[in-house]
Structure 1
């Protein structure tokens, strides 16, 4: 796997660095990464084995001392373990030895040292041997090299290698110096004859001296290959076609001999000779066509051998030699004008090593077909793509087309073997490579945003594959890839200064939609197939991730292409309404309880957001029933109707959604009416306050008295929904009442009439609805118990507001804080409060309502305090005098009609006649 990581690093480095420097750096980084991973794996294995050894280490068995059995005197002497006599105090001389008795269960008493006999040590079963870990790649390679040089006919192997190098060097040196006077054709003929003789001699002894014969044949054929190539390249003694034909024959001979004799060593030796020939006797002419044609012939031989034998070493050797020499030549000699004569050889070599691993699997035993040659399966496409990038000078679109063609090839051959059960691993590997190269084509051909989105879809595919294969790593790798793709999209957006002119149908927004689609697909997989806690958490997290990208992406698109609030605000409303509907539809297909709860509760949150948008229109002074907003309202009505129909189940989320849906309509009506009245300058403050708030009072009235009319669009209104509507409406109505208490109540163009003006009628309606709520069956008992106090306080506040408003409107006193400095206002408050106190006092006394009587008495006490603190300073004017007179007369009335508080029970003693 080292070479695979190195090639992956080289491809990434080449794509990033746009040249050979980046490829070399990436190659080194990939190799180091693979090595670090191997060392980490070896360290983990060592720790695991160490823990296993510690777990099975035998521990010394400690046994309690066992007293020896007591023997009879007549049986014979007991053999002693030592000649040292025991201490006298330790062994008292018994008069007689009693017969043996059974040992008690308790631990035995200590016995003399001489009488102790150590029991044989306990036999501990040896620990099960731990299977040794397999050697690493480097150890395996070193072991193979060592065995090649130490086993078999070592002298012949070494000798043939040395002889091969010597012959090649001598030919080159003789050519350069002109030492040989023998004509070149004769020399080459003699060498060829000697090589043919060596092949024949080796063939003759292939049975008796197999190792020697195979080595001799391989070396001799290598010499023949060198000879033909020298005759063609160096001396022009053989035409190109003739030399090519001879090489084909020789390479075929190597393959035939190796296959017939089942000799991997022969094939390897011949292949080494064949690949080394153009390097050793190169003239530096740079004829790359001849070089690559020659290597193509050698690869044909490898392909033919692979058809008969599953020799992995031969395949890997051919791959490394072909692409290694090709890379070196490209670095040193390639120019852009050589593309037409170089590209066919790169494509041909790619196809060679695409087919060879397939043949290797075909020729392997069926039980071993699941083991693939990773070096060729992954190294060939990656190395080919790297070289293709160099040939194309890293131009994006041609390189993307190349990667796409490779992806199509891989998917085609994977489809071709789809019915072969013994090639499942090979088929899946090809499919993965097809996806990988299609992925590589995306960033090369498309923009950064779309590239990131395609990577996100690939992450969703990994999640699907992980569940399909029952593996955890692909699932969470897919999630991580989606996170990386999203960050990449954000990064590219920060530096993208080119904005599309078309909304929605542009690369940036399509990228966002693909990110959302990938997240939704992943949520579906984790929801349907995930059972662990991590899978449940991932489904919820990915749902929020999808919502974030959907809302954020659409909102960003609106900001980019919409510059008018008249259009932007209804668009946001439609976005939230449509999203709530889509989420509600999706909640029907959710399997896991946790995710279903999150999804369903997202619906009322989105509807609440749409309500906030509606409220936003009031600040922006935008009429929600005109222009673009009218279309938005229609869309909101349709989507809201469908949303509530989908969430018809009796859950807290559905009740919340229903309540918020009704409040959205109320908010629209209130704002629409308020903005319509605000433009009518002839209606003054009283009308502007009261008329828009009528829908709120209507909602509360319907909730209390006729809740069935609020069931739409459902068949019936749930109790929880009705209670939520009543409570929320009551809170809003209370706020309305507080606001109306401090309203001036201008009724223009109509004249002001106390009590029957708009603000006073609004306060009376609020008081009536409050009283109705207190007697409602669903009102909590604790609140119903506070009804007298609450209603009394509310009525007192409303009466005070009535009084001050009438003073302001009819008495010409300015409304505001200065009204309390008015003598008329103070007189009016004294009279009104006194009347309220008298009525409560008298009525409570006559009706036997002690609480009401006490409230009246408290009110009269407040009025008295007001007279002494406030009105005392006004005794010099008519208003102050009238205040005192009115209060005194009312107290006299009280003394006549209700001189004492009502009794709480009949058993109380009668009140004194002096009570006053």
Structure 2
């Protein structure tokens, strides 16, 4: 077959050299070089395949292999030539077995000391040094040498020299005028000689196959050249007759190739068949005739492919068909020719689609096997590109074309999956690809985003089910493209004109993207333990689309006064859905989502207050009703979990209702036009009440997780204590307006709230759930908070009863300074007296320190007021108090204080 390839190349070189410039010698030797190179490449490919088969055979374990140790053990007694007397008797057994073994030549003497060690040691094999690979020039030279020295060398050399000699003789005879015969006779003589050579080659096909094939290929080549010369050069044949003769020769070459299993003959006939219309062309440009001929030629290729697995022939046909068709389309196609061109494109596509299928049907159902990627993937891609060119960019017809391809490949994938799995999977990939391509061609960017998202989730499912990476990556990439397409649609104004909330394209598209992400996350969570992080990322991606879609709908379709209620409904729905998913998947991410959604109700409740709305009226009442139902459901679903999510959910649940009640009471007091002190007290009273319930009656707020409430009661109490402390210190700066009631010191709403906070704080520090570090310093903490409360109450009374403004001038007021001096002195006196009477030296010392602070205040601040009655009263009162206390409450001894403390 290599000879035939070289012969064909030489004939082609003679033909090309004769047409372009008349340089036959150059064409001949150029064709010779190309033919040798092609034959060499083919030989190398076959050799690589043979080496691969040999390597597979060597890698298989032998059927029965005797271990080397056993062979060494048997050979050791035979090789021992002079055994010692002690070893003579054990050696009798091998000697007795000697007649069974064939006679062997005497082995050479061995070194006696090395025998025992060598018999027990494993055999060491030495690897021969690896030969250096020859370079490209050496390989070419070696291949050329083998071509001229191996096989039927006389036929190879003889055919080459014969072609060259005949060509040179014909040219010389023509130049010298030796041949004066008419051209018709000369061409007829050449044709008869070629026919005789063809017949002789057919006769010799069995005895000398190489010789016969070479002679047949050369004869067919000469006949083709003769027909071409009679038509093109000498105008002796009409186009129809020349075309018919070439077609006959092509068919004959194909038949001879199939009968003799000769690929080279088939390739020769194929090349001649594709070149015939070009060589015999008259310029009429009838594309129907041209493509009809190529359709018949491709049908012949399909028939040969059914009989012979000649991949080269299939690829050449595929290449020439689409190359010639594309060239014609660029030069001649007009949209008016679509109806007469489209059928041929479909026929060509169907033929090269059927060839891989026919190959699969002829092979045994082994499950997996070789797939010709050039035909399987190249055919639809090239055909679809040509279809797009024929349709001139019309989107909907091209979308229908892509959808038709997807359906065809889907049917083929289902049919081939059980017989040839690799081919079936390839068809499935093409079906998915063309279905994906049909979406943006037929639909808007927003619809494309929806379809891509769902298709991406389906591919993730397929990839995880089949344990294949490509579908998984493709599915994730499609979901990313879906997000980009959706963003593009929004930027392009796709949401304009939407008048219905939720049931609109924008919201549904975003929800579908979120649904695809949730489905992918669930699939990774369920099937791929090694990629749980990716499941979390996909879940967060879907949750962002879910929340984003809800917020966008609220912002677009809900009035500003109702947005807080709508947001609460969104959070309630999110919590319920996440809790339901948690019960099914036991995923921490969904449980955390449910807990945070409940806790976020606190923020929404505060939003009602910021907007000046009553949370338990109108849409707010309905929203909190939905929040109550979904909250109870969510807490019930999280009951059995052992992580922090139940605690977070219930603490957030308690605080949401606490804040809602605070906002409701604060808004109610504002509607009743009560003073600022009442509004503040009403607002903080639910916080203090919840703290009191958690301290004194925890079961009243423990539902529906009563059984486990004690586990996180300490955290709830600590959080409530922090908020109550902030309230206590925040109220220090409150003016204490108690309208419409008159102001009374201590018995006013602001100071009553502070007193309640102090009492609850004292009770909390005495509770077992309080942090030990704070409980150990209970007395100083409460004393400091009480001192601040009394100081603020004194200044507030000065403002309310003395008419001093509640601003920066209050501190410089004589009345305020005198009141602070008297009150602080009274507190110090109380500390002195109680500490002295109870023998508590620390309390007495605290009173003394406070009296020292008052003294410092007298010297630094009040001395500037000695010119008025208030300043003088401060000094006199302080002096009298110190004198009286020094008489009635002396300092107790330290030992007594320590004993009392213990």
Q: TM-score, normalised by structure 1?
A: 0.73
Give the Cα separation in 1 of the matches to 2:290 and 2:150: 35
**Comparing 780-789 and 458-467, the one that deviates more:** 458-467
Structure 1 residue 545 displacement after superposition: 2.9
Distance 1:392 1:710, change over 3 A: same
Structure 1 residue 231 displacement after superposition: 12
Q: How does 1:593-742 map to 2 (within 5 A)?
A: 596-648=587-639, 649-680=641-672, 682-742=673-733
Q: What residue is the counterpart of 2:581 in the other structure?
A: 586
Distance 1:315 1:757, change over 3 A: same
Give the Cα separation in 2 of the matches to 1:894 and 1:236: 145
- Helix, strand or coil at the partner of 1:904: helix
Structure 1 residue 383 displacement after superposition: 0.7
Give the Cα separation in 1 of the matches to 2:622 and 2:166: 88
- Helix, strand or coil at the partner of 2:809: helix
Structure 1 residue 273 displacement after superposition: 1.6
Give the Cα separation in 2 of the matches to 1:132 and 1:563: 80
Asked if structure 2 preserves the Cα contact closer than 8 Å seen for 1:581 and 1:640, the reply is yes
Asked if structure 2 preserves the Cα contact closer than 8 Å seen for 1:219 and 1:270, the reply is no
Asked if structure 2 preserves the Cα contact closer than 8 Å seen for 1:687 and 1:758, the reply is yes
Q: What residue is the counterpart of 1:810 in the other structure?
A: 801
- Helix, strand or coil at the partner of 1:651: coil
Distance 1:873 1:322, change over 3 A: closer
Give the Cα separation in 2 of the matches to 1:431 and 1:315: 23
Q: What residue is the counterpart of 1:172 in the other structure?
A: none
Asked if structure 2 preserves the Cα contact closer than 8 Å seen for 1:362 and 1:369, the reply is no
- Helix, strand or coil at the partner of 1:326: helix
Equivalent residue for 1:513, pick from 511, 514, 525: 511
- Helix, strand or coil at the partner of 1:284: coil
Asked if structure 2 preserves the Cα contact closer than 8 Å seen for 1:225 and 1:277, the reply is no
Q: What residue is the counterpart of 2:545 in the other structure?
A: 549
Give the Cα separation in 2 of the matches to 1:787 and 1:805: 27
Report whether the alignment pairs 1:853 with 2:849: no
Asked if structure 2 preserves the Cα contact closer than 8 Å seen for 1:754 and 1:806, the reply is yes
- Helix, strand or coil at the partner of 2:770: coil
Q: How does 1:141-180 map to 2 (within 5 A)?
A: 154=156
Distance 1:568 1:214, change over 3 A: farther
Give the Cα separation in 2 of the matches to 1:877 and 1:306: 123
Distance 1:181 1:676, change over 3 A: farther
Distance 1:444 1:160, change over 3 A: farther
- Helix, strand or coil at the partner of 2:810: helix
Structure 1 residue 888 displacement after superposition: 4.0
Give the Cα separation in 1 of the matches to 2:326 and 2:653: 69
Structure 1 residue 692 displacement after superposition: 1.5
Cα distance per residue 1:393-429 (max 9 Å; x no partner): 1222211211111110011011123432xx1111111
Structure 1 residue 158 displacement after superposition: 7.3
Give the Cα separation in 2 of the matches to 1:906 and 1:687: 44
Report whether the alignment pairs 1:379 with 2:378: yes
Distance 1:760 1:335, change over 3 A: same
Cα distance per residue 1:319-357 (max 9 Å; x no partner): 111111111111111110000000000001111011101
Gaps of 5+ in 1: 1-122, 167-178, 909-916
Give the Cα separation in 2 of the matches to 1:756 and 1:896: 34
Asked if structure 1 preserves the Cα contact closer than 8 Å seen for 2:517 and 2:538, the reply is yes
Q: What residue is the counterpart of 1:911 in the other structure?
A: none
Cα distance per residue 1:755-803 (max 9 Å; x no partner): 2221121111111101111110111222112111111222222222333
Cα distance per residue 1:266-309 (max 9 Å; x no partner): 22222222111101111111111111111111111111122222
Q: What residue is the counterpart of 1:9 in the other structure?
A: none
- Helix, strand or coil at the partner of 1:716: helix
Report whether the alignment pairs 1:758 with 2:753: no
Distance 1:414 1:253, change over 3 A: farther
Q: What residue is the counterpart of 2:23 in the other structure?
A: none
Give the Cα separation in 1 of the matches to 2:372 and 2:215: 30
Structure 1 residue 497 displacement after superposition: 3.5
Q: What residue is the counterpart of 1:901 in the other structure?
A: 892
Distance 1:824 1:779, change over 3 A: same
Distance 1:474 1:417, change over 3 A: closer
Structure 1 residue 577 displacement after superposition: 3.7
Structure 1 residue 842 displacement after superposition: 1.6
Q: What residue is the counterpart of 1:356 in the other structure?
A: 355
- Helix, strand or coil at the partner of 1:820: coil
Q: How does 1:79-478 map to 2 (within 5 A)?
A: 125-127=125-127, 154=156, 200-214=199-213, 217=216, 255-364=254-363, 370-420=369-419, 423-452=420-449, 454-472=451-469, 475-476=472-473, 478=475
Cα distance per residue 1:248-279 (max 9 Å; x no partner): 98776555443332222222222222111101
Distance 1:222 1:322, change over 3 A: farther
Give the Cα separation in 2 of the matches to 1:525 and 1:907: 68
Q: What residue is the counterpart of 1:47 in the other structure?
A: none
Give the Cα separation in 2 of the matches to 1:147 and 1:645: 85
Structure 1 residue 466 displacement after superposition: 4.0
Q: What residue is the counterpart of 1:538 in the other structure?
A: 534
Give the Cα separation in 1 of the matches to 2:132 and 2:505: 55
Distance 1:465 1:273, change over 3 A: same
Q: What residue is the counterpart of 1:526 in the other structure?
A: 524
Asked if structure 2 preserves the Cα contact closer than 8 Å seen for 1:215 and 1:265, the reply is no
**Comparing 549-558 and 335-344, the one that deviates more:** 549-558
Structure 1 residue 584 displacement after superposition: 3.6
- Helix, strand or coil at the partner of 2:561: helix
Give the Cα separation in 2 of the matches to 1:338 and 1:733: 85
Distance 1:463 1:159, change over 3 A: farther
The alignment's C-alpha RMSD in Å is 4.4
Distance 1:257 1:657, change over 3 A: same
Q: What residue is the counterpart of 1:33 in the other structure?
A: none
Distance 1:906 1:748, change over 3 A: closer
Give the Cα separation in 2 of the matches to 1:783 and 1:516: 47
Structure 1 residue 124 displacement after superposition: 8.5
Cα distance per residue 1:425-455 (max 9 Å; x no partner): 1111111111111122222222334435544
Q: What residue is the counterpart of 1:37 in the other structure?
A: none
**Comparing 875-884 and 331-340, the one that deviates more:** 875-884
Asked if structure 1 preserves the Cα contact closer than 8 Å seen for 2:446 and 2:494, the reply is no
Distance 1:640 1:208, change over 3 A: same
Higher helix proportion:
2
Structure 1 residue 624 displacement after superposition: 2.9
Distance 1:379 1:191, change over 3 A: farther
Q: TM-score, normalised by structure 2?
A: 0.74
Distance 1:634 1:907, change over 3 A: closer
Give the Cα separation in 2 of the matches to 1:765 and 1:165: 122
Distance 1:217 1:906, change over 3 A: closer
Structure 1 residue 609 displacement after superposition: 4.1
Equivalent residue for 1:836, pick from 805, 827, 832: 827
Q: What residue is the counterpart of 1:914 in the other structure?
A: none
Give the Cα separation in 1 of the matches to 2:132 and 2:568: 67
Report whether the alignment pairs 1:574 with 2:566: no
- Helix, strand or coil at the partner of 1:718: helix
Distance 1:840 1:619, change over 3 A: same
Distance 1:820 1:369, change over 3 A: closer
Structure 1 residue 526 displacement after superposition: 3.0
